[in-house]
């Protein structure tokens, strides 16, 4: 029992610092880049390097972890090199200099999370519905980071952001060395090529819909903070709005075991896509109405919290045995990675030429397409079951 509790806190610590880094990067890095006088397209390109690496790197590291059987050692190596290359942000403020630093840092930073997700789900065994309670520590790290930095940047220069990132990188490295070793259990699908699993219609539908959800969130992660500041919100208010969404996300994480028992993963995803449509329309059309903007952030509980836990739960069901690490890596690459790239890069030109309302309306349209894809596949499965 003491060993189980000990490992719980080790995994929780990794999630805490990993998402504290996200809480530093997602809301404020675009503001730091803006302070260096980059235009919208330059910012979109630099911010998109993270999803680019989330598309490429996890597959390399997932393959290495599955074939070597040394998942923890791969995580430690990735965390070490990420922290090393992050130091480059202190040495350059040029576009190409930051491009090179962020390219290398994100190649290693993005590698560890799919492997840790696979470790967590393996360690939980049959209790995967309790994943959200462990993952909630990442949300707590995000909240402390985003709120603390938001208040700080009302009083200090945005350049201090770089030091906050360094603290997070060191925390990731420390806890990467503490995560538990897990044994990859044999499964009857081990003899199948992973391509055979990916090409199953239910897997393709999940990946396609989640790709669209990531596209929808690209403008949110790239321009939401700039959008709020341009509409007169203080940086502390920006941090508070980001934190509100994550506070609600924590609540959903703790409710996930009961929600999964009642609704199942697929139905939870359908609800999440519907909530995303409403959320992005509110952001795009009602940014000056505080009550509606607050509602939009409360919906983050569904559009990320419930969505993330349910989608990872389905991936864990689809990819078992020796395919587990690569399954999580493929999911992250093709959804958060490729979808984030498209959403982030497209957001720059749309923002610059058509404005924020058109940008977030396009996000709502992507979520609608994702809902239609998931709904169509769910209807097809019910029809075949009746036949």
The structural domains of the chain, with segments of one domain joined by +, span 2-182+192-386
Tokens 């690496």: give the residue.
53
Question: Residues 294, 368, 376, CA angle at the centre, nearest 5°?
Answer: 135
Eight-state DSSP code of residue 303: I
316 neighbors 197 (Cβ within 8 angstroms): no
Q: How far is CA 43 from the centre of its chain?
A: 19
The per-residue pLDDT for 316 is: 83
Q: Among 78, 77, 73, which Cα is nearest to 111's?
A: 78
The per-residue pLDDT for 275 is: 98
CA atoms of 69 and 183, how far apart (whole Å): 8
Place 94 in a pLDDT band, splitting at 50, 70 and 90: very high
> CA quadruple 264, 116, 13, 298: dihedral positive or negative?
negative
Alpha helices in the chain (DSSP H): 2-35, 40-68, 71-86, 95-124, 131-152, 161-176, 194-198, 201-230, 235-285, 290-298, 300, 307-318, 324-331, 338-354, 356-386
The per-residue pLDDT for 126 is: 67
Question: Residues 125, 306, 281, CA angle at the centre, nearest 5°?
Answer: 160
98 neighbors 46 (Cβ within 8 angstroms): yes
In terms of average pLDDT, the best of 208-212, 256-260, 325-329 is 208-212
The per-residue pLDDT for 362 is: 97
Token pair for 386:
């009746």
CA atoms of 106 and 50, how far apart (whole Å): 6
The per-residue pLDDT for 294 is: 97
CA atoms of 214 and 239, how far apart (whole Å): 22
**Which CATH superfamily, name and number, covers 2-182+192-386?**
MFS general substrate transporter like domains (1.20.1250.20)
More confident position, 160 or 236: 160
Whether the predicted pLDDT of 8 surpasses 80: no
**Rama region for 264: left / alpha / beta (φ>0; ψ in -120 to 50; rest):** left
* Residue 3: its H or E element: helix 2-35
Q: Give the pLDDT mean for 187-194.
A: 59
Q: How far is CA 26 from the centre of its chain?
A: 10
Whether the predicted pLDDT of 2 surpasses 50: no
| Mean pLDDT taken over the chain | 86
The per-residue pLDDT for 11 is: 86
Token pair for 371:
């809902």
Whether the predicted pLDDT of 188 surpasses 60: no
Within 10 Å of residue 188's Cβ, how many Cβ atoms?
8
The per-residue pLDDT for 372 is: 94
Half-sphere exposure of 111 (CA within 13 A, CB side): 29
| Ranges 47-51, 205-209, 383-387: which has the least confidence | 383-387
CA atoms of 18 and 346, how far apart (whole Å): 26
- pLDDT tens digit string along 235-288? 889 888 988 998 898 899 889 888 988 999 999 999 999 999 999 999 999 999
CA atoms of 156 and 133, how far apart (whole Å): 34
| Ranges 98-102, 105-109, 280-284: which has the least confidence | 105-109
3-state secondary structure 137-179: HHHHHHHHHHHHHHHHCCCCCHHHHHHHHHHHHHHHHHHHCCC
Ramachandran angles phi, psi of 261, nearest 5°: -60, -35
Q: How far is CA 103 from the centre of its chain?
A: 18
Within 10 Å of residue 156's Cβ, how many Cβ atoms?
11
- Rounded-to-10 torsion of CA 85, 17, 308, 244: -120
CA atoms of 50 and 27, how far apart (whole Å): 14
């Amino acid at each position: 029992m003491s060993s189980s509790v000990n490992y719980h806190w080790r995994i929780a610590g990794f999630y805490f610092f990993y998402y504290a880094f996200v809480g530093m990067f997602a809301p404020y890095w675009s503001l730091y880049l803006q302070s260096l006088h980059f235009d919208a397209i330059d910012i979109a390109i630099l911010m998109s390097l993270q999803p680019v690496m989330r598309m490429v790197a996890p597959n390399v590291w997932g393959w290495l972890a599955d074939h070597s059987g040394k998942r923890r050692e791969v995580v430690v190596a990735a965390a070490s090199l990420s922290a090393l290359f992050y130091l480059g942000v202190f040495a350059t403020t040029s576009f190409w200099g930051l491009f090179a630093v962020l390219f290398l840092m994100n190649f290693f930073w993005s590698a560890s999370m799919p492997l840790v997700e696979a470790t967590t789900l393996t360690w939980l065994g049959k209790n995967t519905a309790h994943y959200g309670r462990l993952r909630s520590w990442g949300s707590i790290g995000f909240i402390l980071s985003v709120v603390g930095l938001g208040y700080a940047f009302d009083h200090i220069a945005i350049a201090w952001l770089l030091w906050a990132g360094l603290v997070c990188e060191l925390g990731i490295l420390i806890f990467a060395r503490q995560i538990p070793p897990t044994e990859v259990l044999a499964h009857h699908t081990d003899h199948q090529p992973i391509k055979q699993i990916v090409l199953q219609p239910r897997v393709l539908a999940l990946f396609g819909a989640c790709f669209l959800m990531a596209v929808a969130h690209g403008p949110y992660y790239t321009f939401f903070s700039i959008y709020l500041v341009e509409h007169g919100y203080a940086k502390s208010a920006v941090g508070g709005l980001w934190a509100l969404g994550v506070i609600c996300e924590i609540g959903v994480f703790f409710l996930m075991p009961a929600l999964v028992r009642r609704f199942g993963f697929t139905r939870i995803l359908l609800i999440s896509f519907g909530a995303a449509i409403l959320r992005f329309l509110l952001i795009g059309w009602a940014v000056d109405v505080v009550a509606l903007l607050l509602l939009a952030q409360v919906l983050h509980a569904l559009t990320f919290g419930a969505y993330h836990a349910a989608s990872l739960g389905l991936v864990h069901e689809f990819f078992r045995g020796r395919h587990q690490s690569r399954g999580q890596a493929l999911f992250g690459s093709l959804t958060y990675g490729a979808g984030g790239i498209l959403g982030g890069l497209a957001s720059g030109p749309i923002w610059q030429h058509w404005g924020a309302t058109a940008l977030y309306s396009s996000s709502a349209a992507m979520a609608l397409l994702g809902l239609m894809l998931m709904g169509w596949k769910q209807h097809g499965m019910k029809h075949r079951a009746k036949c």
